[in-house]
Structure 1
Amino acid sequence: MSPYRPNPFFSTTNTFFVPSVGDKVDNAVAQAKALGQDAQSRASELAGKADNKFQDAKEAVKVTAEDAAGAPQGIDLYSRFALAGALGCAVTHGALTPVDVVKTRIQLEPEVYNKGMVGGFRQIIANEGAGALLTGFGPTAVGYAIQGAFKFGGYEFWKKKAIDVLGVDKARENRQAVYLGASAIAEFFADIALCPLEATRIRLVSQPSFATGLASGFLRIAREEGPAAFYAGFGPILFKQVPYTMAKFAVFEVASEKILQATGKSKDSLTSGQSTGLNLSAGLIAGMAAAVISQPADTLLSKINKTKGAPGQSTTSRLVQMAGQLGVSGLFTGMSARLVMIGTLTAGQFLIYGDIKKALNATGGVEIAAIPK
């Protein structure tokens, strides 16, 4: 029988380290406290940041509300747009009356006035005196003041209506359609007001002996031909003015947007001089595009207001007959003169309109152009 040897595994000389449950609990509590303190610190930091942001937002809302309270709204705002548009159109069209007289003569009597713009000026001054260049100034200034009020004020109004219906994001995505639609509707109503005065102006320019001025010319047409005579050119004036105005506003908006994108600046960040340059540049581009688009109808409008139609002949048949007689080249007679006139006129209109809007504090509205913020 072999002697007993105790198993070393169970020997009392072997010692095992067994962490106590109490130590584990103490460590866990310490870690939890540390995590709790860290979380509390982070929560306090986030709360402070949130409070700062809330205060900033509160202040921004306060400033916005104060600005809104002092800015014109509703009919007050749109009447200011209309006034700015009226002044812009009256000043520019009135100042360019001599150019318009020469242009109209070239269109109506190309066989006589066939020496270009400068030659036309010389012919009129030599034959009728310098005062003849201001023929039709009265109906031009008054008529285009009324039209400018409806055109610019109406454009702002209908553009805002479209934005309200579509929403800002959808309107921005479809901004070209908004520009074109708003300008077309505005011009339709503007032409209703313009047509009688434009008919009187053309009659005075084409027949200098017809009357001595706006009032006498207007009354003579009404007396001899009836009120319907004032709207004999309504079809062609719509045909001319609606595409013209659609191109004018849409191209101006696009040109302004592209110029701002190229410079990386927003409208609000522009200096006074930069704003002037923007309006002039975009306005000139818009005016030249609009002049080309509306040239054929402008020629027809001058022709149809020069003479009476045959008894029973409709305006449409007269227009078709005239267009056939003139041909493409005839419809674009006086194009160079009109490019100069409309390009300059449109640039001046947007310049004056923008400056007067600022002076009248009529800068409210929603911006839908894709321009830098």
Structure 2
Amino acid sequence: MSGKKIELYSSEYYLACATGGFLACAPTHSGVLPVDLVKCRLQVKPGLYKGNFDGIRTIIKNEGLLKIFSGIAPTFIGYGLQGAGKYGFYEVFKKRYSDFFGVSNAYVYMLASASAEFLADLALCPFESMKVKIQTTLPPNQVVGLYSHLYSGLVPLWFRQIPYTCVKFTSFEKIVELIYTTFLTKPKEQYTKLQQTGVSFAGGYVAGIFCAIVSHPADVMVSLINNESGKGEAMTAAVSRIYKRIGFKGLWNGLGARIFMIGTLTGCQWLIYDSFKVAMGFPTTGH
């Protein structure tokens, strides 16, 4: 790269991290859209498919190849904006909270990630609602008239995404630390940038599995609320009605598909994000 080096923790640094977050999240969420489509349909209608690959194969056979990428526009835009906010604000809050408390530990990572996700979901929510409706009920040309209901799933989205992101960032930081201190023999700085980003991918993949399990019940509820919104029903009433119908067991519909999806995309997101940071001349995340 040419030009002036960006100073760490400057406004330009945080803007660059937000850009890296967009690049990490928009293509990865779009890339796993076929699995996400199967997952959302299984959450809305359990037993519809036998599994991930059966679902994808059935959709292609019955609805055409392009159908497996239903909702790609709101997915790319929504998760790109969310990724920019999530990673960018995480870097801001991690620095601010570390300076305030005088320590950088799991509690700081958790607080910083929760704060970042709270703001990032304001950008994601309407696009997530569009995506779910496209995938489960309506063709794209009918979604435009549903704008008044696009924030109906915001609170359940917070319940899904904030624990998800707390686990995603906190466990990633701790797993990367564990890899360097326990499984590898040298300090992080003595490994090449390529090796460091490999550690980021491994840490991200394991963190993604934890994320999927912790946030899955709320993910099921978000899918069902977005699928059934537009009935003039209060959010709390909708949650109560849906839970009575599906029960505790129903909150885990589609978990296998989501573990595969979230583990893969989370590993790839950290790989892309830290690769971008390396390209910008920044240190990789963690330890």
Same fold (TM over 0.5): yes
* Pair 1:183-2:113 in alignment: yes
1:326 corresponds to: 246
The offset of 1:71, in angstroms, is 3.3
Match of 1:106 among 42, 48, 66: 42
What is the letter of the counterpart of residue 348 of structure 1?
C
* Pair 1:299-2:220 in alignment: yes
2:281 corresponds to: 361
**Which secondary structure does the structure 2 equivalent of 1:231 belong to?**
coil
Mapping of 1:5-44 within 5 angstroms? Answer: none
Q: Is contact 1:102-1:117 (8 Å) kept?
A: yes
2:127 corresponds to: 197
Mapping of 1:1-373 within 5 angstroms? Answer: 70-73=5-8, 74-111=10-47, 113-167=48-102, 171-172=103-104, 175-209=105-139, 211-212=140-141, 217=143, 219-222=144-147, 226=148, 229-262=149-182, 263-308=184-229, 310-311=231-232, 313-363=233-283, 369=287
Q: Is contact 1:107-1:299 (8 Å) kept?
A: yes
C-alpha distance in 1, partners of 2:101/2:197?
31
The offset of 1:276, in angstroms, is 2.9
| Superposed CA offset, 1:169-212 (max 9, x none) | xx14xx01001000000000000110011111111111243x24
The offset of 1:310, in angstroms, is 4.3
Q: Comparing 266-275 with 294-303, which one deviates more in the overlay?
A: 266-275
The offset of 1:351, in angstroms, is 0.2
| Superposed CA offset, 1:281-329 (max 9, x none) | 1111100000000000000000001123544x31012112212221222
What is the letter of the counterpart of residue 86 of structure 1?
F
* TM-score when normalising by structure 2: 0.93
C-alpha distance in 1, partners of 2:108/2:242?
34
**Which secondary structure does the structure 1 equivalent of 2:150 belong to?**
helix
C-alpha distance in 2, partners of 1:232/1:151?
21
Relative to 1, partners in 2 of residues 1:250 and 1:364: Cα closer, same or farther, differing over 3 Å?
closer
C-alpha distance in 2, partners of 1:280/1:239?
26
Which consecutive unaligned segments of at least 5 residues does structure 2 have? none
C-alpha distance in 2, partners of 1:83/1:276?
18
The offset of 1:142, in angstroms, is 0.6
The offset of 1:123, in angstroms, is 1.5
* TM-score when normalising by structure 1: 0.72
Q: Is contact 1:72-1:361 (8 Å) kept?
A: no
Tell me the matched-pair count: 282
| Superposed CA offset, 1:243-291 (max 9, x none) | 0000000110110000000213222211234213211111111000000
C-alpha distance in 1, partners of 2:229/2:204?
36
Q: Is contact 2:278-2:284 (8 Å) kept?
A: no
Alignment RMSD (CA, Å): 1.7
Q: Is contact 2:274-2:284 (8 Å) kept?
A: no
* Greater C-alpha radius of gyration: 1
What is the letter of the counterpart of residue 98 of structure 1?
P
C-alpha distance in 1, partners of 2:138/2:229?
16
| Superposed CA offset, 1:190-235 (max 9, x none) | 00110011111111111243x24xxx73x3212xxx2xx1110001
Runs of 4+, deviation exceeding 2 Å: 69-73, 264-267, 308-311, 361-365
